Structures are given as structure tokens and as C-alpha cells.
Amino acid sequence: MLSKKTQYAFHALIHLAENADKGPILISEIAQEKSISIKFLENILLELKNAGILGSKKGKGGGYYLLKPPKEIPLAKIIRLLDGAIALLPCVSLNYYERCENCRDEAVCGLNDVMGKVRDASLKILETKTLKDILTRD
Amino acid sequence: MLSKKTQYAFHALIHLAENADKGPILISEIAQEKSISIKFLENILLELKNAGILGSKKGKGGGYYLLKPPKEIPLAKIIRLLDGAIALLPCVSLNYYERCENCRDEAVCGLNDVMGKVRDASLKILETKTLKDILTRD
DNA sequence: CATAAAACCTATAAAAAAGATAGACTGTTT
DNA sequence: AAACAGTCTATCTTTTTTATAGGTTTTATG
């Protein structure tokens, strides 16, 4: 299950994408629109900014905005940034690998094998689907 | 990411399946073999028993054993039992559904749509692959 | 230049979940 | 009767998640 943090990030990004023509968007506007605690959202947007996904502007008329078009932001990138691994086991994670402590030999572990397939199936979607694909359907 | 509880459960089930011919297996044997805290494992095996996956026998010569052949135990069943939802969002979970609090209308939410596809892709594997498929390859 | 607006930053707190442990109880075998 | 091994319930510790607080910096504008 994705954390609230990641879920909020998706909703915030959706709002930013759908209002990209209106210039910088206030944190407070997103918070209200999506029912997210403003202070919590602040931290999340900051992380997205530090990761190079969002830009910001201070002072009057300031706010946050996307630095790239929505179709260039894969969903996997957001999940990995805020939640970490996408794989179900540390020993099959591409970006957050950790050795399995309970099995003698990963090369021979059948769990490793199946969970690798689950990871691949998920990534096939999460790395090709982008912010553009989750905008409100109308 | 699967919890330790679920990971331990898989390793324990693998051990039980691979030693099914030896009669009931001691908790302590599994714990030692797989480097799992014996008391923690105790709780996990009990849950598996209460869910009808394992049988047990008390007293000397007792222990745990599988109630069904490994190929009739889908991995999804174990995960749902010990970890809950397999889906990435509550609003696309088949077994643990919860309404999305941050979006106006799920029917029109693009996130809902994509995450549903991720769920389907994962389930396609986790519901068809069974305990038999994760036994040690030799 | 003063003021207000709005993001930035760091720290901390509160709540929930995960992971682990303790000890007494029940049933079984010999 | 004694030893064995699972059962049950409660508690504890640690970690992670979620949320809040409050001051700092930057920018626009009158």
C-alpha cells in the first residue's frame, strides 16, 4: 500500500498539472482542494522540488509549478522518491536491494524468482504510465 | 513491501512443504533453520492454522504440517491474510476497499484507473503462483 | 524602503504499526 | 505423572508514519 505521503503527492501533482496554465499555485490552494493538511503537504512539495520535479516561486504571486510536461513524469519516479522500493521484497528491489536474511541462497530461492516477476509486471505499468495518464478523465 | 511477518510465513511454509514427508515439524526447528524469532514465528503459525492453511499436533512428536498440497495454496492468500491489501491504493483494493478521501469522484480519477491495472497485473501472478512455485529450485 | 505574501527549513510531537517477548494454559505421549 | 509442544493473551519496544509548530528567507509592490 502506498503511504499517505505518496498518495497526497499524486493528488497535488494532478492539481498542478490541471492548472498549469494559471501560473504558480499556492500550497494552501492544493491543500484545500484535495483535503490535505497544509503543513504536511508543504513538506511533500518541498521534497518534490528538491528532486527536481517541481519549481517554486516565493512571495506574492508565488507558489509551485511543474518543471516538466506531465507526460515526462513516470509514476514510478514519484513512488520511489517518497515511498522507496516498489518491489515486494528487499531482495528483488532494483533501487533498494538488500540481501535476504532468511534464505540460504537467493539464486535458488523460488520466492525471489516469483517476486521478481511481480516487480516486473508492476514496473511495466508504473514506469510507462506518467502523470499525464492519471489526469481527470473528461 | 511485504512485512517481516509475511516474509517469515513464506519461509516457514517453504520449510514445511519441503519436509512434508517427515511428519509434524517443530516451531523451533523452523525458527532455527530460517533465523526467525521463535516466539514471533509461533504467532504466525497460529494465524496460518486458524486460517485453515496449517494443521498442528500437540505433545511429543507434535508440530505443524500443511493441510493441503502446496500447489493449492496461492501466494495471494498468504499475503492477504497477514499483510492485508495487495493493491497500492485502498480505493482499488478488491478485498480491503476504502473510499478515496482526496478525490472528488473515483469514477473519473485517473489514478484509480492505473492503480487498478497494477493490481490486476500483480494478482495475475500472485493468484496463480502457489507455494509449489516457490520451493527451492534444484 | 516597509510591508505583506509565500515558500523554506528544522525540529519535534503524536499516533499507529511492526516486530518481538513473556508466561501461564491445554492437550498428548509415554 | 512427567515431559513435551502447541495455544492463548497480554504487554513491551522500536520504528515508521503522519502531522504540527514556529521562525527564516525571498520576492513583489505601494
Can you tell me the distance from the alpha carbon of A46 to that of A71, in angstroms, rounded to the nearest whole number? 21
What are the tens digits of pLDDT across the range B22-78?
Answer: 999 999 999 999 999 999 999 999 999 999 999 999 999 999 999 999 999 999 999
Q: Does A123 touch chain B (CB under 8 A)?
A: no
Instruction: Tell me the pLDDT tens digit for each residue of A58-110.
Output: 999 999 999 999 999 999 999 999 999 999 999 999 999 998 887 777 777 88
Domains recognised in chain A with CATH numbers: 4-66 (1.10.10.10), 73-134 (no CATH)
**Per-residue confidence band for B126, with pLDDT thresholds at 50, 70 and 90:** very high
Find the closest chain A residue to B85 by CA distance. A1
Write down the pLDDT at residue B85: 97
Interchain contact B5–A (C-beta under 8 A): no
Exposure of A118 by Cβ count < 10 A (0-12 exposed, 13-18 middle, 19+ buried)?
buried
Which residue places its CA closest to the C1' of nucleotide D9? B43
Q: Long-range contacts of range A58-65, CB-CB < 8 Å, 24 or more positions apart?
A: A61/A23, A61/A24, A62/A24, A62/A26, A63/A23, A63/A24, A63/A25, A63/A26, A63/A27, A63/A29, A64/A16, A64/A24, A64/A25, A64/A27, A64/A30, A65/A16, A65/A20, A65/A23, A65/A24, A65/A25
